[in-house]
Structure 1
Amino acid sequence: MPQRLSGFSSDAGRLAASFIPAAAFTLCLFVVMDRLVSVGEVHLSERTVRPLVSITPLPEEPQTLIRREPVERISEVQPPPRLDPVRRPNSGEIGLAPVELLTPTPEIDPGPVGDFAGTIVVIGRETGVPVRAPIVEYPHRALTRGIEGDCEVSFSIDAAGRPFGVSASCTDEIFARSSARAVEQTLFAAPVRNGVPVGQGNLVYPIQYRLED
């Protein structure tokens, strides 16, 4: 029994002997760390303001001054003139300006031109008559040669008054073409039977070519 107490006391003594230096070492470690980690007051340096230096040179001042014209202010705006409304043309009315056609002057003076029988002559029977007298052109060759002549143009008209089957018999063949063309381009008034226009054949229209003295 005394041997057991002696062993227990020796173990407790060794434990106490080892605890004392360990506690002293730990205390010293805390003191050293506190000294190392302690932070004092931080003093910041004052902020210095540096002037900015222009990299590009400043433009030189112009020697001459540009004078600006004074601006005229408009006090009141004048309204545009009122336009008349566009009038819609009535049926049959054409809103175009008349065109004046000028006949070019011929290079050769043909001399005075005679009368082309300006009066309307009754064609055969009095049933078919032209709406207006045919427009006859005096052939240029006949004018330069001083030729006169007479023609009888035979033709027929349909119910609308249009001539067809036109042929000209002239004292000189130089007048045949112009006479036939004049009758072909003329509108005639067809005869009316029982209120209905009908065609008519065997009509003859005389044309005279005369030169003035």
Structure 2
Amino acid sequence: MASLVRLFVGAPLAAIVTFLLFTLMQILIFEDSAPPDDAGDEVRITIADAPEEIQARQRDANIDQVEDVTPPPPPPAIERARADQPTESMSTIVGGLPDFDRPQLAGGDISFDVSDRDAQPLVRIPPNYPPRATERGIEGRCSVEFDVTPDGNPTNVRILSCTNSVFERETIRAVERWRYEPRVQDGVPQWRRGVQTQFDYNLSQ
């Protein structure tokens, strides 16, 4: 029973609400479609047909007229004096040349040979002190004699005297390592016989 009452009361109310909503929608639609107000400000955009020509500043490329410069006059020509050729002979101007006696090259008195000289030492290496003499504290002296070949090499080394035989071997070895300028006679290297020298062996050296 209560449901029937709600049906009879609610149906008319629903119809009325639906009609009102439909009418409200019609009003809103007509208001939205109304033409815009002509009172607004008019905006105009203008596009230029051609860009404005900008005049660039140009430099003056004209060259000022250069004044004519008069070149200096050329230097005066110097006349070269020509020397007169002598008309007299050379013997008249200077005088007669003296006569010299020409040497007789065919004779045997003239010699172009190098002056004679004796054997000269070039390299003289001192002897080594014998180790055995050093250990024993022995000192001494040795005299030696030798020959020099035309090539400047000592040969035929001979001991003349020695205070101790411990020094003989080192004395001979030292002389054999020497070098000489050979003896020269009439421009020809010669043997030099009997060259003598002496060695002193001192521990304090």
Query: Normalised by the shorter chain, which TM-score bucket?
Result: 0.3 to 0.5
The two structures have a TM-score, normalised by structure 1, of 0.39
Q: State which structure, 1 or 2, has the greater radius of gyration over its C-alpha atoms.
A: 2
